[in-house]
């Protein structure tokens, strides 16, 4: 079933003001001009007919097809995915612009139901494909080069073969997906509808989280305490969502015979469990030399005996609390992208001038940020909640990297363009690194350099340490749920069990912080998504080291890697750079870059 985009960044954006310049909004007309667009009705009608005729032509007959026949079957399936993807991209993006609008929510829900109903007869395709003997499929692939191009897709589908249920049960699961989505929508709408009152001002979650980076410590504390108050008042709802989602996942995993709660994510990411565990173990082992060491430095800079949770993302005392307006942010990122390779700048340009970015913070708009690829014959759309801090510039650089990656991978076609999450973060984190290095090179003083380095270290800690702590929390949550219903206090305790370990002894934790798991969208929308951030950061740090060493032809190899989309495994993609993510030392190499930045910050103290 087609999956909607969702906010994916851990939203701790910086403070802003209304004087940010002309913030762009989406122009969704490249998808459809509106809910009543004749093209939308045409596509829905086509989709219903195309799914029915596909099932009539191929169900029960896949084993009889020759190479040319199987290729035609694959191409027809790809076209169906493209039209369904276009419809749901339009519905989903409109919804995320205003999640509190009942009309938009109904339109998206109705579209999802129709597409689920239309595509249910197609469930046989992957089931029958998995029943083909290996030697038979290999023979067909060897006979037709155009068909052989889709081998990565066949491999991905057939990786699920050991976990496949009966045809009837698979159709039931497909239909039931709409019900699971309802819990995700409940989470989104609850989060978007929360109101927080701080210092007499009522605001949504983005504005309140934004207070956690306010220069005034009293404002940070007020924001943190109000978040805790409102999360606490709604914790039963969030606990119900998590209990239900985790139980649903446990039932499906049990029926499929999946070895662990994480197995499905590893399969979809095309990454071996031992590679993820090597990453996880390397990061946890590095907590003392990364987060513990950095936050001890920050505690001294802030002049505190002990840090509270509202100090974690506080600006540094020597930091210029400037607001970066939108035109300046655009220039900073575009300059960094173009300096790496002019082609990258050209690919990024239309995002700014063609209505491909929705940047402003608006009531009811989904929190966080994302880049959604839509479909390969349109273009990606980037969503931000831009508030004007340097950190927000980094988020722009990050999401624009996703967008450029998605544009380049579109040449692979609908089925092969989609990149597994572990590799999907490559271009985004690399885009951040390019922008950061450009800003560091242009630093006019030691103090400015220190602030930039500290900001980058904090972002890396949020991307690596915090996300692995999130991953550990999820592992504990799903394991505990298998033994029965979890109370809010049970979930709170699991959350706190990973927080002190990852953040270190510099912190005290206020009453109420134990509920801060409640607002993280990944846990609900896409269990175990979070380790992909750490994977991507570690991978890019290693990749950037190769670039910084002056690897000949790096830019061309990099573009080739992005153009490959989901057509190659991480081993194949990294081999041209002399890198291998399955080597445990690989992760230490990536983590040493963060440690090196902290070394430089400590040296500045002398």
Residue owning tokens 């139980």: 247
Going edge to edge, which strands form the sheet with 381-383?
357-358, 381-383, 370-372
DSSP letters spanning 64-75 = G--HHHHHHHHH
Task: Output the pLDDT for position 606.
Answer: 64
Task: Output the pLDDT for position 18.
Answer: 60
Provide the domain limits for residue 112: 28-261
What CATH number should be reported for the domain holding residue 136?
Answer: 1.20.140.70
Task: Output the pLDDT for position 175.
Answer: 82
Q: Is residue 319 part of a domain?
A: no
Taking CA atoms, 517 is separated from 239, 370, 462, 566, in Å, by: 10, 20, 15, 31
DSSP letters spanning 486-503 = --HHHHHHHHHHHHHHHH
Q: Compute the distance between CA of residue 359 and CA of residue 20 in angstroms, rounded to an integer.
A: 10
Q: Compute the distance between CA of residue 469 and CA of residue 480 in angstroms, rounded to an integer.
A: 16
pTM: 0.81
Instruction: Using CA atoms of 114, 384, 6, 75 in order, give the dihedral in degrees to the nearest 10.
Output: 60
Residue 201: strand pairing partners: 198
Taking CA atoms, 256 is separated from 125, 134, 164, 170, 274, in Å, by: 18, 21, 6, 10, 21
- Going by C-alpha positions, the residue among 440, 452, 435, 420 that lies closest to residue 348 is 435
Cα-flanking dihedrals φ and ψ of residue 270, to 5°?
50, 45
Please work out, in degrees rounded to the nearest 5, the angle formed at the alpha carbon of residue 149 by the alpha carbons of 146 and 150: 110
Task: Output the pLDDT for position 231.
Answer: 97
Q: Is residue 536 part of a domain?
A: no
Q: Is residue 453 part of a domain?
A: no
- Going by C-alpha positions, the residue among 25, 21, 4, 195 that lies closest to residue 105 is 4
How far from the centroid of its chain's Cα atoms is residue 406's Cα? 13
Number of domains the chain is built from:
1
The average confidence (pLDDT) of the chain is 92
Task: Output the pLDDT for position 11.
Answer: 34
Q: Compute the distance between CA of residue 422 and CA of residue 132 in angstroms, rounded to an integer.
A: 29
Q: Is residue 481 part of a domain?
A: no
DSSP H/E element including 370 = strand 370-372
- Going by C-alpha positions, the residue among 315, 230, 243 that lies closest to residue 516 is 230
Q: Is residue 454 part of a domain?
A: no
Residue 230 corresponds to which tokens in the numbers above? 């409102």
Q: Compute the distance between CA of residue 381 and CA of residue 111 in angstroms, rounded to an integer.
A: 20
- Going by C-alpha positions, the residue among 387, 364, 341 that lies closest to residue 203 is 364
Helix (H, G, I), strand (E, B) or coil at 186: helix
- Going by C-alpha positions, the residue among 290, 359, 224, 195 that lies closest to residue 602 is 290
Q: Compute the distance between CA of residue 158 and CA of residue 163 in angstroms, rounded to an integer.
A: 10
Q: Is residue 235 part of a domain?
A: yes
Residues in the chain predicted with pLDDT less than 70, given as ranges, are 1-18, 180, 606
Residue 307: strand pairing partners: 507
């Amino acid at each position: 079933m087609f999956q909607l985009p969702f906010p994916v960044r851990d939203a701790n954006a910086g403070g802003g003001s209304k004087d940010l310049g002309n913030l762009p909004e989406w122009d969704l007309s490249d998808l459809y001009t509106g809910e009543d667009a004749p093209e939308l009705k045409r596509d829905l009608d086509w989709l219903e007919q195309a799914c029915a005729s596909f099932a009539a032509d191929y169900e029960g007959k896949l084993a009889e097809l020759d190479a040319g026949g199987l290729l035609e079957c694959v191409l027809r399936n790809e076209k169906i995915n493209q039209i369904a993807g276009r419809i749901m991209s339009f519905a989903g993006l409109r919804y995320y612009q205003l999640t509190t609008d009942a009309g938009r929510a109904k339109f998206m829900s109705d579209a999802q139901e129709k597409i689920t109903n239309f595509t249910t007869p197609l469930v046989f395709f992957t089931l029958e494909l998995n029943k083909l003997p290996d030697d038979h499929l290999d023979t067909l692939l060897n006979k037709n080069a155009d068909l052989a191009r889709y081998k990565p897709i066949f491999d991905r589908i057939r990786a699920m073969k050991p976990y496949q249920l009966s045809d009837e049960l698979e159709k039931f699961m497909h239909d039931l997906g709409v019900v699971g989505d309802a819990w995700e929508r409940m989470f989104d709408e609850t989060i978007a509808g929360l109101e927080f009152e701080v210092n007499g001002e009522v605001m949504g979650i983005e504005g309140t989280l934004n207070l956690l980076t306010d220069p005034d410590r009293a404002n940070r504390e007020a924001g943190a305490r109000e978040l805790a108050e409102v999360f606490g008042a709604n914790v039963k709802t969030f606990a119900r969502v998590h209990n239900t989602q985790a139980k649903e996942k446990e039932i499906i995993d049990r029926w499929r015979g999946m070895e662990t709660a994480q197995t499905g994510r590893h399969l979809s990411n095309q990454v071996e469990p031992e590679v993820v565990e090597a990453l996880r173990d390397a990061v946890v082992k590095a907590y003392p030399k990364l987060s513990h060491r950095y936050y001890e430095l920050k505690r001294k800079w802030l002049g505190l005996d002990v840090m509270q949770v509202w100090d974690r993302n506080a600006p540094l005392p020597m930091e210029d609390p400037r607001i970066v307006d939108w035109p300046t942010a655009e220039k900073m990122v575009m300059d960094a992208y173009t300096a790496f390779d002019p082609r990258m700048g050209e690919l990024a340009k239309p995002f700014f001038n063609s209505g491909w970015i929705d940047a402003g913070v608006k009531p009811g708009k989904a929190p966080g940020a994302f880049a959604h690829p839509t479909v390969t014959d349109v273009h990606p759309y980037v969503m931000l909640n831009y508030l004007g801090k340097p950190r927000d510039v980094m988020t722009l650089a990050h999401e624009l990297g996703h967008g450029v990656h998605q544009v380049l991978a579109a040449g692979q076609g609908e089925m092969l363009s989609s990149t597994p999450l572990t590799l999907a973060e490559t271009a985004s984190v690399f885009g951040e690194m390019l922008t950061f290095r450009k800003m560091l090179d242009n630093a006019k003083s030691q103090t400015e350099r220190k602030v930039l380095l500290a900001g980058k270290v904090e972002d890396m800690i949020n991307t690596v340490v915090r996300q692995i702590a999130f991953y550990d929390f999820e592992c504990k949550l799903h394991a505990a749920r298998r033994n029965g219903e979890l109370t809010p206090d049970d979930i709170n305790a699991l959350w706190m069990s990973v927080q002190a370990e990852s953040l270190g002894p510099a912190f005290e934790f206020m009453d109420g912080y134990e509920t801060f798991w409640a607002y993280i969208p990944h846990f609900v929308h896409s269990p175990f998504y979070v380790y992909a951030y750490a994977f991507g950061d570690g991978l890019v740090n290693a990749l950037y080291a190769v670039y910084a060493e002056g690897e000949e032809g790096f830019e061309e190899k990099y573009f080739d890697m992005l153009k490959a989309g989901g057509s190659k495994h991480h081993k194949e993609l990294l081999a041209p750079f002399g890198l291998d993510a399955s080597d445990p030392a690989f992760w230490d190499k990536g983590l040493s870059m963060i440690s090196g930045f902290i070394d430089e910050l400590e040296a500045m103290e002398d």
